[in-house]
Structure 1
């Protein structure tokens, strides 16, 4: 399956004004990175999921996720904003770090669930949260995230 994130997928010090702006920006970046050819379809997939239940976790982190036939391969994008934004979250606090999951519709019940599970586990680790919050090093952030979710491949080998 390969890596889910590279340093090109990490965006720091972004200047967005709302959760919707963040989702649009992530969708556009996904198109620029070749993850999709249709940023609007990805944006609509993010919106659909946002309307189901909050994707804001705790401590300023969110895990927006999109499942769409317009997504070519599973990928992760980390998007850090300069300021915390209103975002429905488990702890009611605003969000400034989004770890976006982008998954082809055909992998909705497999890769998507495993990526979501692994990301949730990472976010329970104080060291991981602190590292991502305090670092603006795209290479280091990508490496840390990819190490955390790369065990998905091991899980699939067991199936």
Structure 2
């Protein structure tokens, strides 16, 4: 199994107070993890995408995504928040798990589409959603996403 999503990219027991705070947290962690040198540009890319339409899916999950030249390599960062937050979603329910996709602009039509479609498939699987909800084991969450991304 690949380690595209690393354990270090999974953050549990977070205490963000808003969707914007989650997106800021993700952008700042992306800088710490070497995914970007410009956290502000990544944050602005997240906000621009949020303005285009909801990234909240169903059952408390969201898939925010940022595409910008400021991102050096494609990555996924997962945030499990301690409480559900207002976040425009397909089922109008608040969100407490964000599986964020960070993609360099040059890979927008390839890597981004693949990650988005694979993540959407994962979020249709009750066993995946139950696993993410039932554990704070960062490696288990990363491994479950990696397994889903690798499937054909």
TM-score (norm 1): 0.93
Partner of 1:92 in structure 2?
Answer: 92
Partner Cα distance (1:79, 1:72) in 2: 20
Partner of 2:106 in structure 1?
Answer: 106
1:133 has 2:133 as partner: yes
Question: How many residues are matched?
Answer: 151
Partner Cα distance (2:7, 2:150) in 1: 15
CA shift for structure 1 position 147: 1.0
Q: Secondary structure at the match of 2:25?
A: helix
The one-character-per-residue Cα deviations of 1:18-47 (angstroms, maximum 9, x if unpaired) are 000000000000000000000000000000
Q: Secondary structure at the match of 2:55?
A: coil
Deviates more, 1:141-150 or 1:20-29: 141-150
Partner Cα distance (2:24, 2:103) in 1: 16
Q: Secondary structure at the match of 1:98?
A: strand
Gaps of at least 5 residues in structure 1 are 155-159
Alignment of 1:1-159 (within 5 A): 3-151=3-151
Gaps of at least 5 residues in structure 2 are none
Contact 1:3/1:150 (<8 A) preserved: no
CA shift for structure 1 position 4: 2.3
Aligned-CA RMSD value: 0.9
Give 4+ residue runs of structure 1 displaced > 6 Å after superposition: none
